[in-house]
Structure 1
Amino acid sequence: MRQPDLNRLALFAAVVEAGGFTAAADKLGMAKSQLSQQVARLEAELGVALLTRTTRRVGVTEAGERLHTDCAPLLAGLHEAVSRLGQEGTLSGRLRITAGSAYSEGVLGGLLVQFARLHPALELELVASDTPLDLVAEGMDLAIRAGILRDSSLHAVKLGDFAQVAVATPGLFAQMGCPRTPAALNGQPWVALSVLPSPLTWGFRHGEGGAAETVRGRAVMRMNSASLVRECVRADVGCGVLPDYMLHEDLATGRLIHLLPDWQLPAAGIYAVYPAARYLPAKVRALIDYLRLHLPSRVDV
C-alpha cells in the first residue's frame, strides 16, 4: 500500500464531517469535482473504499468510519499546533460553551458578552442546559459546572466557589415559628433540587469551626432546575437551598428570607470542564483565564 497523502486525509475528513462533497467543497473553497477526485485518489492509495456515492447521498463505509475515527483527532491536533504558533493574540472560529440555565442567565451570559467584545473574530455559542451534556458527543469546547465532578475522562479547572443558601418566603418563615437553629427545619416542607445527590439532607455549621447539625427536609416538590426551585419557593411551596448568585435581588427586596444566617452550608465550586486533549485550544484557554479573573465574588447574603 502506498503512503497516503496527508492533505487528502484532511479532505476526506472534511467530507465526512460536512456530510457530503457539496457542503465540504463550499467550506473548503474548492470545486466539488476537485474534492471528489482527491478523495478517489486517497482510496486508490489505500486500496479500500472509504465512501459510498449515489445520486442522492454520500455514505461512509466501515473502513471509512475507522479511518476517520483514527485520523480526526490527529488532524485536529496538527491544526491546533499550527494555530497556537500562527495566531497568538487573535482568537477566531466557533467556541461552544454549555452551563446550567440559572448560571447562564445570572452570571455567565454577561461575562461572555464582555469576552466577545474583546475577541470580535470569535463566534461564541452558549447552550444553557440543566442536564449535563456529553461534551464530545455534543461538540462542546467547554462546560461550566457546579458542585462535585464525576466524569474522570474530563479535565477541570476550578474558577471559584459560591455559597449555598437556605431560603423561604416571609410567610413560610413565620409559619415555621421563625426558626433559630437547624433542628427547627427538620421535617419542614422542602422544594428539592433533584439533580443533587442528597437534595433533602443538609449539613449546617455555626460560624467558623462551630457546632455542626444535619437537617433533613420533607419533599413537597422535586425539580431538576434551580430556576424552577426558586419559583416554587417564591410561591410559598416550601423551603429551598439555592446558590447565592440567584438570590441577590430576592434577599435585598425581602421577597425571600435567608434562613439561619448565623449557620453556613458548605460552599460549592464552579469549574471549567473540557474534554481531554494533548493541546488545550487557545480560545478555550483564553476564556478560562478570563473567567478566573472576572467571575464575581460570592454575594453578601
Structure 2
Amino acid sequence: MEIKWLPYLPIYVALCEEKSIAGAARRLSCSNAHVSRQLRQLEALLSVQLIHRTTRQFNLTYDGVEFYKQAKHLLESAEVINEKLCLSENAAGKLRVAASASFGSLLLTEPLVEFYRTYPDIKIEVIFTETPFDLIEAGFDVAFFLTDTPPEGYVGHRLGSLDCKPYAHQQYVKQHGQITHPNELHTLTHILYKNTDLTLDHWTFHHATGNEKADIKLTGGFSVNLVSSMVDAMVKGCGLAMLDEFALSKLPQTERQQVVQLLPEWQTSAILPLYILYPKRQHLPKRTRLFVEFFRNSLEHILPQAQKKKDAQSRERLS
C-alpha cells in the first residue's frame, strides 16, 4: 500500500515546531511558497485541516496535534535508520548533480567518469545548465557553480578561481594588429560570456613587473552563455575571448597552436570562484560525502595553481 503523505512529514514537523511558514522555510532551506504548497497538498491527501492559519495566527487543529505526534515519532525512527545507512561500509544509491554548462562539460567530465569507475554502485545523474534554480526543490544532491557567496542553507567548498586571459586566433591578430596595453582592447571585437545573472565584461589588468593597473570594460560584438561557444567563435576569428586555459584544453593540437594569448605581460584579477555546494543537513549520505571529497581532491590539482600564482604576484606588487 502506497502512503503518499510520507514525503511531507519533514515540512509538517518543521511547521509545527517553528510555528510559522517562514521559520520552517529557513530551517529546511527552501522557499515560503514551497512550504505553503506542501502543506496544502498534505491536507488534501489527508482530507483534513491540520493548521488554522490567518495573517496573524498559526494554530494546530485537534487532528493537526495528533498527526504531529505520529509524524515526529516516524521521523525520529527514520533518523535512526538513516544514521545506520550513512555509517555503512557500502557506498550506493543515486546522486543527482547539477553544474554550470559553461565549464562543467569541459572540467568535470573526466573526474565524473573516474568517480563512477571508483564507485560503480553509485548511480550518477548529471545535469549541465545555466538556468538558476533552488537546489533542494529541484531535487539535486550536489551542485558546481561560480558564485561570490554560497546561498544560505548550503555548505560550500571553494575549489578555486578561473584564471582568464585574452585569447584570439592568430589570423585575427594578423588582421587587426598586436596590442601592448589593455586600453587598446576597445579596438577589437569581444566575445563575452553572459548568462541571466552574470556578464563578464569588467576586468582589472595588473602589469606583471610593475604597479600599473588598468580597469577595462569590454563591449561585446556578441555574447553567449557557453564557454565552448566562446572558444568556437574565437577559433573562427570572430574576435578575442577572455578564457581560462582549461577552456582551450579540448582543442586539437593544430588549432591550439593557432591561438594567441594577448597581453602576456599582464595578469587579470580572478573572477567568481568555483564552489561545490550541497544542502546543510545533520546526516549527509555517504555517497554525497565521497563525491564531495573526491572532487575537492581532483579539482584542486587544476584550479588552485593559477590562483596561487596570482596571490604570489599580488604579494610581490604590494611589497
**The two structures share one fold, judged by TM-score above 0.5:** yes
Describe how 1:1-301 pairs up with structure 2 within 5 A. 11-14=3-6, 59=45, 61=47, 63=49, 77-85=79-87, 87=88, 89-149=89-149, 151-195=151-195, 197-207=198-208, 210-250=211-251, 253-268=256-271, 269-295=273-299, 296-298=301-303
Q: 1:259 to 1:78 in 2, by over 3 A?
A: farther
SS where residue 126 of structure 2 aligns? Answer: strand
* Cα shift at 1:236: 2.2
SS in 2 for 1:186: helix
Structure 1 outlier segments of 4+, above 6 Å: 64-68, 70-76
What is the root-mean-square deviation of aligned Cα atoms in Å?
3.5
Instruction: Give the whole-Å Cα distance in 2 for the aligned partners of 1:228 and 1:76.
Output: 47
Q: How big is the shift at 1:215?
A: 1.7
Name the amino acid aligned to 1:166.
Answer: P
Post-superposition Cα deviations, 1:153-172, rounded to whole Å, max 9, x if no partner, equal 32201123331122111122
Q: Give the whole-Å Cα distance in 2 for the aligned partners of 1:12 and 1:226.
A: 43
Counterparts in 2 of 1:244 and 1:76: CA distance versus 1, 3 Å: farther
Secondary structure of the corresponding residue to residue 108 of structure 2: helix
The unaligned stretches of length 5 or more in structure 2 are 10-40, 52-63, 307-319
Letter in 2 for 1:233: M
After TM superposition, give the deviation of residue 60 of structure 1 in Å.
6.1
Identity %: 20
What is the deviation of 1:151? Answer: 2.2
Q: 2:5, 2:42 within 8 Å by CA — same for their partners in 1?
A: no
User: 2:150, 2:156 within 8 Å by CA — same for their partners in 1?
Assistant: no
Question: Which moves more between the two structures, 234-243 or 119-128?
Answer: 234-243
Deviation at 1:191, TM superposition (A): 1.5
> SS where residue 139 of structure 1 aligns?
coil
Q: In structure 2, what is the Cα distance between the partners aligned to 1:277 and 1:63?
A: 29
Q: Deviations over 1:234-293 (max 9, x none)?
A: 222222112321113549522322121221122342211112222332211111111121
Q: Residues 97 and 127 of structure 1 are in contact (CA less than 8 Å); yes or no, is this contact kept in structure 2? A: yes
* Residue in structure 2 matched with residue 34 of structure 1 by the alignment: none
Pair 288,188 (structure 1): closer, same or farther in 2 beyond 3 Å? same
| Aligned-partner Cα distance in 2 for 1:260–1:292 | 32
Alpha-carbon shift at residue 14 of structure 1 (Å): 4.7
Q: Unpaired runs of 5+ in structure 1? A: 1-7, 18-48, 53-58
1:176-202 Cα shifts (integer Å, max 9, x gaps): 320122111135321111136442221
